[in-house]
Amino acid sequence: MKPSAATARAGANIALVKYWGKRDPVLNLPAAGSLSLTLDQLETTTTVVPDETLSADTLALNGQAADVSRVSAVLDRFRRQSGHAVFCRVESNNNFPTGAGLASSASAFAALVAAADSAFATRLDDRALSEQARLGSGSAARSIFGGFVEMAVGTRPDGSDAVARPLLSAEAWPLEVVVAVVDEASKAVSSTKGMNQTQATSPYYPAWLGQVPEDLQAARSAIAARDFEALARVGEGSALAMHASALAARPGLIYWRPATLALIDAVRDLQSAGVAAFFTIDAGPQVKVVCLPEAGQRVAAALSAIDGVQRLIHCRLGPGVRVLG
Ligand code: DP6
């Protein structure tokens, strides 16, 4: 079948047990497993248009020409697998700020592989899509699935078992996530660079890595038991340990802004008042606050009162990647 245009949409995901470091940079294999929530509001929609008249792939990201190399590497595998050597025009649109610590690469590569799979009619199953997405960006492997998702570290040298799997559907435990956007500008150090620098230079990196299996176990148990307090403990602990390892890199990586700390304080105040909420922070200054649905409004009100918060994005848990046509 001749390749034809296809569009797919994927939600960003927020890791509760973080991915921070690689064991193989070529296959983009993670140094440890991770665990995340897929969100319904932060979405990327990507269209892949195979075009015989092109002499190279092109990428438009939110309407602007962008570096196509990581996208081309993904498309190359679909070209090889399908036997169709046609270049593609790729159009990708985020409904949220790109590159500001809101996991744009996760939704982007998940949407890209699903669109490419449909365009090239390669008919990969979700596990194979997750592997392909991982090759683009580690966290993208998780955005293939909805709800609660675990990414396996894997043991095979070819990376075929370093894939994500769904743990629990979004409906089974409908948590909410309020994202407090502190700075919409792109971050100074990308997660890829930040984790490589941490791994190569931080004296605390081995301690970080050693803690992940225990955190994964604790998070899995908390999710199975719908134990919000236990999930809060492991979620905040994993985020702070990741940032502690990054802070100790040389030179140190400081992703936070004053408003980031003010938000952490606000979450602690909410917790003291008995509100079921906890924070997590990725490679940027934004703070994501996970809460029970009944706490959503109170959390949003408290966060919006903090100086330096530019806007809030109130998310529910969302579905996995889907092809739109
Ligand atoms: C802090 O998936 O962006 O968000 O595999 O190099 O593309 P690459 O890294 P990426 O890293 C995400 C790091 C994180 C934590 C997480 O999402 O688990």
pLDDT tens column, 120-161 = 999 999 999 999 999 999 999 999 999 999 999 999 999 999
Q: Which atom of ligand 1 has the smallest separation from the CA of 138?
A: 5
pTM of the model: 0.96
38 touches 145 (CB < 8 A): yes
Q: Which pLDDT score, from 0 to 100, does residue 229 have?
A: 98
pLDDT given for residue 210 in this prediction: 98
Question: In angstroms, how far is CA 212 from the centroid of its own chain?
Answer: 17
Asked if residue 202 and residue 54 are part of one domain, the reply reads no
Domain of 240 in residue numbering reads as: 176-316
Residue 325: inside a domain: no
166: domain CATH number is 3.30.230.10
Instruction: Please state, in angstroms and rounded to a whole number, the distance separating the CA atoms of residues 290 and 53.
Output: 47
Q: Do both 160 and 51 map to the same domain?
A: yes
pLDDT category, 184, cuts 50, 70, 90?
confident
CA distance 316 to 135: 27
Question: Which of 154, 172, 190 marks a domain boundary?
Answer: 172
What's the total number of domains in the chain? 2
Give the residue whose CA is nearest to atom 3 of ligand 1. Answer: 191
Q: What is the mean pLDDT of residues 10-30?
A: 97
105 lines ligand 1 (CB under 6 A): yes
Which two three-digit tokens encode residue 147?
A: 């709800």
Query: Does 136 share its domain with 241?
Result: no
129 falls within a domain: yes
Residue 3 neighbours by CB under 8 Å, 6+ apart: 50, 82, 84, 86, 88, 119, 120, 121
Kind and range of the H or E run holding 134: helix 126-136
The answer, yes or no, to whether any atom of ligand 1 lies below 6 A from the CB of 34, is yes
**Residues paired with 34 in a beta bridge:** 151
Spacing, Cα 19 to ligand 1 middle (Å)? 6
pLDDT in tens, 188-243: 788 999 999 999 999 999 999 999 999 999 999 999 999 999 999 999 999 999 99
Co-location of 132 and 184 in the same domain: no
- Ligand 1 pocket test: which of 191, 196, 198, 199 has the largest number of ligand atoms within 8 Å of its C-beta? 191
In angstroms, what is the span from residue 104 Cα to ligand 1's centroid? 10
Phi, psi of 173 (to 5 degrees): -150, 90
Kindly give, in sequence order, each residue whose CB lies less than 8 Å from that of residue 128, ignoring residues fewer than 6 positions away.
Answer: none
Whether residues 149 and 257 share a domain: the answer is no
> Using an 8 Å Cβ cutoff, are 167 and 150 in contact?
yes
CATH at 182: 3.30.70.890
Measured CA to CA in angstroms, residue 114 lies from 140, 143, 192, 324 at distances of: 11, 11, 23, 10
Over residues 4-25, mean pLDDT: 97
Q: Do 160 and 26 sit in the same domain of this protein?
A: yes
Domain termination site, one of 137, 156, 172: 172
Mutate to test the pocket of ligand 1, among 19, 186, 195 (most ligand atoms within 8 A of CB): 19
Strand order in the sheet with 277-280: 277-280, 287-291, 176-181, 311-316
In short, whether 191's Cβ falls inside 6 Å of ligand 1 is yes
Identify the band that residue 104 occupies on the pLDDT scale cut at 50, 70 and 90: confident
Q: Are residues 249 and 187 in the same domain?
A: yes
Q: How many helices (H) and strands (E) does the chain have?
A: 8, 14
Residue 164 is encoded by which pair of tokens? 């994500």
State which amino acid sits at residue 316.
Answer: R
Q: From the CB of 139, is ligand 1 less than 6 Å away? A: yes
What contacts 157, CB < 8 A, 6 or more positions away? Answer: none
